[in-house]
Structure 1
Amino acid sequence: MAERKINPILKLALELGPIVLFFVAYLRLKDRSFLIGGTEYDGFILATAGFVPLMILSTLALWKLTGRLSRMQVATLVLVVVFGGLSVWFNDDQFFKMKPTMIYLLFGGALGVGLLRGESYLKYVMEEVMPLEQEGWMILTRRLTAFFLGLAVLNEVIWRTMSTETWVYFKTFGLSAAIFVFFMTQSGVFSRYGIDEES
């Protein structure tokens, strides 16, 4: 089923809104603790507890408006619910901090399996957005596999060795910036192997 077009600003707001709201909530609650049901929760856990339903609602809204969800969106939502839920349930922020690691290992691993089979699974996900020759897809897939695995390692290093606040800034801004910069640096692949849709 073809994806229905929606206002790009609305789409961006639904995709990034939960992350921005998590960041704002964390900044407002980070130095506070709350006694709920006899258990003390810090601001990070409460921000996480708010992030999970927001992520569910925004993903459902995207599905309702566009008529489809990518496998990456579904996998991300499942991991957010699982690891965010574990953090809240056990009152332990480590589970949520591990979530980006699991996401990037999953994506990198899936692309890696495709490469071992001589295929580019990235092509199946992004072919409509970026038409490329097969060799271009293979080059991009190899680079993105290494990039995702590198991000997984970097996330582990940061959350295990630095403060929660540093990790929140890294997750909110660092990961998004890294992905943006990665694709900007692939312009040579796009220009060399790009396919003119009109032809």
Structure 2
Amino acid sequence: MTEHIIEEAPNKPGRKAMSPLLKFALELGPLLVFFFANARADDLVSAFPALQQLGGPLFVATGLFMAATVIALTVSWAMTRSLPIMPLVSGFFVVVFGALTLWLQDETFIKMKPTIVNLLFAAVLLGGLCFGKSLLGYVFDQAFRLDDEGWRKLTLRWGLFFIFLAILNEGVWRGANYWYGIDAHSPKELKETADFVWTNFKVWGTMPITVAFMLTQLPLIKRHSIEPIGLKKE
């Protein structure tokens, strides 16, 4: 049987599924690596002096973020012989913007990556709806199954939510730079403080907001859920 590099359509017969918890761990893992590396960059550099060549804490975190993203995609491929669409797209931008960040020693690129990725996801989801395709099913079909109307509504809501996240990301990193008066002549310590504010938001702000949004979608999911095969209605 021919293997598909990109994950197959939602609910397609014979599609090899991955545990939702494992899938979530592979997608969240690189982000936690990014936060930990930024917070403990000095300890990591002491243990692995080669990391000092990357630059300050945010640059060390960026390098490890890139490595963790590639590892997560590799594990996903090894287990399912396919690559999940959303993490693949995000991973591409992590590598590209991460490389620019390290090469030019300019943290702007890695800070703008979430903005661009979120806008891209919004464009893909909302654009897909224009052509009658509810692409969100590729992401969540292993966690639950919905009818066509449910996938359309959920895809629309997520598309708008990604636009919100893009605007929020820009507001936080630019706002932190403005608050601390960051410019080309700012001392290194002040830049690292602004970087730390944004990094904390990226992990401890974005994730809770996303989880809260997901919880608000539970009524819609319940209304449009398709009964799993083999289960009887009570």
Alignment TM-score, normalising by the size of structure 2? 0.74
Which of residues 1, 4, 27 in structure 2 aligns to 1:15?
A: 27
Q: Does the aligned pair in 2 maintain the 1:52–1:80 contact within 8 Å?
A: yes
1:28 aligns with 2:40: yes
Larger RCO: 1 or 2 (CA < 8 Å, sep 6+): 2
Of residues 116-125 and 188-197 in structure 1, the stretch that sits farther from structure 2 once superposed is 116-125
* Corresponding letter in the other structure for 2:205: G
> Pairwise CA RMSD of aligned residues?
2.8
Greater strand content: 1
Of residues 46-55 and 82-91 in structure 1, the stretch that sits farther from structure 2 once superposed is 46-55
Partners of 2:20 and 2:152 in 1: how far apart? 32
Determine the structure 2 residue equivalent to 1:192.
Answer: 223
* Displacement after TM superposition at 1:194 (Å): 1.1
Which of residues 194, 199, 208 in structure 2 aligns to 1:177?
A: 208
SS of residue matched to 1:121: coil
1:122 aligns with 2:122: no
Q: Deviations over 1:111-144 (max 9, x none)?
A: 1111222332223443343211222112111111
Partners of 2:79 and 2:211 in 1: how far apart? 25
Determine the structure 2 residue equivalent to 1:63.
Answer: 77
Which of residues 11, 16, 21 in structure 2 aligns to 1:3?
A: 16
* Displacement after TM superposition at 1:103 (Å): 1.2
Structure 1 unmatched ranges of 5 or more: none
Q: Deviations over 1:35-74 (max 9, x none)?
A: x9xx893221122122212221222122112322111121
Which of residues 138, 145, 149 in structure 2 aligns to 1:135?
A: 149
1:84 aligns with 2:98: yes
1:144 aligns with 2:175: no
Query: What is the aligned residue count?
Result: 196
SS of residue matched to 2:55: strand
* Displacement after TM superposition at 1:195 (Å): 1.2
Partners of 1:40 and 1:79 in 2: how far apart? 19
SS of residue matched to 1:119: coil
* Corresponding letter in the other structure for 1:172: V
Which of residues 21, 32, 48 in structure 1 aligns to 2:62?
A: 48
* Corresponding letter in the other structure for 2:171: V
Compare CA radii of gyration and give the structure with the larger one: 2
Partners of 2:54 and 2:82 in 1: how far apart? 40
* Corresponding letter in the other structure for 2:149: E
Identity fraction in percent: 35
Q: Deviations over 1:50-99 (max 9, x none)?
A: 22122212221221123221111210110100011110010000100111
* Displacement after TM superposition at 1:24 (Å): 1.6
* Corresponding letter in the other structure for 1:103: V
Which of residues 78, 98, 107 in structure 1 aligns to 2:121?
A: 107
Q: Deviations over 1:132-188 (max 9, x none)?
A: 122211211111111001101110111111122111011112222222111111111
Alignment TM-score, normalising by the size of structure 1? 0.86
Partners of 1:179 and 1:49 in 2: how far apart? 25
Partners of 1:98 and 1:19 in 2: how far apart? 15
